[in-house]
Structure formats: C-alpha cells, structure tokens
Amino acid sequence: MSGSRITFLQGQADQPNALERVVAHVRGQFEGAGLERLRAAERPLFAGIGASYAALGVAVDLLRARGVVTQRVLSSEIDRGTAGFDVDVLIGVSQGGRSSETLAAFKEANDVPRVALLNVTPSPLGDLAEMTVDLGNEPDSYASTIGFTGAVVALDLIAGAMTGRIGADDPWQGIAALAAAVRHDAAEVIDPLRARAARRVAADVVASGASRAAAEEGALLLREVVRMPATASVTRNYLHGEMESAGRTLHIVFGDGREVALARSLSGAGHLTLLVTTRPVGGGADLGVVRLPDVPPSVRVVLETVVMQELVAALSDERNISIESFVFANDDTKQGGVDPADFAIAPPAPTALD
C-alpha cells in the first residue's frame, strides 16, 4: 500500500493543519505496552536513509541532552545486523515503509526489538517490527513536506516518551499557527532575494545541534527540487576550512550563536546569505533574515524546514523547474520499485550563471 500523493505546493499549504493532526494521532499511540516498551529502552539506535536519516538528528540531540546513550546511522550501515553497536532497541524510519536499505536492516537486526516509524500503514517495514508508530497516512509530496516535518514531530514525541516527559509537557501546542506565520514571514524575506539566489551555482546549509536535521533536509531539498548542488555542514566544522569555497554560492545559516557572526561574515564578503534565527539581526543587501519565535529545538527544526520549503519553491519557480519532475528514477531504493505516477522524468536543468 502507498500513501496518497499530493504536490509540493499542496503539501506546503496543508502542512499547518496536517501537523496538528499528526501531533494528536501520534500522542494517542503512546499508551499501555507501547509506552512501556519505549520507556524501557536505554540504548536506542536510530536508522534511516535520505530525508528520514536527516530527521533522526532531532531525537538523537534530545536524548543525548537527557543523558541517553544513542546514535543514528544510515540503514545501510546495519544491513548485516547490529554487531558492533551497543543497542537494546532499533528504531527505523521510513515514510512508506518500503525503503530497501531500512528493510534489509530490520531483517538482519532480529536480535533486538524493532520499532518502525511510518507514515503509511500497513507497510513491509511495519510487518517486521514489534511496535509501530505512524503519522496517520497523511498525504505527502514526492519531495517530502509533511512526511518530513511529521516525522520530526513523532521523533520528538518518541524521545519524550523514552525520557518520561508527560504529554502535557510536549512542545507542540499551537504548531499550526506557528508554521503558517513562519511561512508568511519567510516568503516576504525570500521574495526580493529569489532572482539572485536562483543564479547561484551551489549552496551551503549550516547549523548545529538539533537544527542539523533542518540543514540536512534543506540541502536535500535544494538538490531534489531546485537541482542545485548543496551541502549540509555543522557550524564549527564549517569554520575550519569548509567556508573557504564561498563564491557564486548561496548560504543558508540556522542558529543564534556563532551562526550570527558567520552569516555576517559571509554577507559582508559579498556572499548571498539567508540567516534563520531568533536574534534581532538586521538584514542587508546580501543578508536576508527570517526571525523565528523562541521555541524548543524540535519545534524549531519544523519551522526551519518550513523556511527551506518556501525557499526551494521560490527557486524552482525562478529556475522554471517543475517541482514534481525528477531526473533519475532509482528503481532499487523501494521494495516493489518506484511508482512513475508520483513524478515526471525530466532532463537536468542547465547550470544557472550570473
């Protein structure tokens, strides 16, 4: 079974209300034996591929902050089992439950309990799991919108269940209004930059902490939707040489600490930069600033992703690239192959130059 498919722009428009539905749906699954299974975990290992792997950064950051020993790996790293990992539960994420690498990992990792986080149910991955958590079969776009942000919500709630956070203390109250407001603000900041941004030949997306999840998803969206070479970098690592390649590049920086000075340095040197921050930072000719509300890290990742979605939608329009068109259809990434009805095959776009 596959989830129903919508366009990327529909996903953006529907996302605020969909997030509210996901919060309510996932909360309702953390009762009884399922909740006890999560609370009993002491050394969870998270696995995913593509956007799902990016989302895992949220749970890992939250759990490590609470002293839980955990890590995330690409599903392909454990396709021969969990030997070499200190793990007492494997949590795999796959929106449709058909990712071939995550399925292979679950088949081999039969020495530990397996929890599947899915959007689509039933699914092949869910059939291999001792416990499933699902988003409620929410319609999603091929380049994921609600599938990614919904997974971030669910991973925060899973981590909260593991650490004993009670439902009343989770951070998702009012998420629909927050997401809608940030999308509106992002559009206003991005619009005057979009023509110049679309002519960049590559992009760097920089963040630290939980926001690394938004950076990794942002870089993937730039590649998938805009067909712009893009790399996600960790703030402190970026400072150690990676930023030296700046030139004809677009820079997206998430954060409130060293990231603010970084954005100012890049824009001050004439490099087009978009800073997403809670800090009261003024913009400039080469610096756009999207102000976020002061929210917990997991919520912030969702809002940062909303900004990235708005950016890639604007850039694809500016480059005249259909969001639902893809250049490559890798038939071995999903059990049963990919569904050609989900997207159109199109030739690569020419590199956009000044």
Q: Tell me: the pLDDT tens digits for 148-180?
A: 999 999 999 999 999 988 777 899 999 999 999
pTM (two decimals): 0.93
Do 311 and 183 meet the contact criterion of CB atoms below 8 Å apart?
no
Single out the residue of 96, 141, 142 nearest to residue 117, CA to CA. 96
Q: Any idea which of 195-199, 229-233, 337-341 has the lowest mean pLDDT?
A: 337-341
> 95-126: per-residue pLDDT in tens?
998 889 999 999 999 899 999 999 999 999 99
> 256-289: per-residue pLDDT in tens?
999 999 999 999 999 999 999 999 999 999 999 9
Residue 177 corresponds to which tokens in the numbers above? 């209004």
- Cis preceding-peptide flag for 16 (omega within 30 of 0): no
Do 212 and 166 meet the contact criterion of CB atoms below 8 Å apart?
no
Q: Any idea which of 76-80, 123-127, 326-330 has the lowest mean pLDDT?
A: 326-330
pLDDT of residue 1: 37
pLDDT, mean of residues 55-60: 97
pLDDT of residue 354: 43
Q: Any idea which of 53-67, 269-283, 312-326 has the lowest mean pLDDT?
A: 312-326
Higher pLDDT, 31 or 49: 49
Tell me how many degrees the CA angle 41-98-339 measures, rounded to the nearest 5: 155
Residue 34: pLDDT band with limits 50, 70, 90? confident
pLDDT of residue 213: 98
pLDDT, mean of residues 45-51: 96
pLDDT, mean of residues 323-335: 65
What lies within 8 Å, CB to CB, of 327 at 6+ separation is 227, 345, 346, 347, 348
Topology of domain 8-169, CATH: Rossmann fold (3.40.50)
Q: Which CATH architecture best describes the domain 175-318?
A: 3-Layer(aba) Sandwich (3.40)
Domain span(s) for CATH 3.40.50.10490 in the chain? 8-169, 175-318
pLDDT of residue 337: 54
Report whether pLDDT(94) > 90: yes
Phi, psi dihedral angles at 78 (to 5 degrees): -125, 30
pLDDT of residue 169: 83
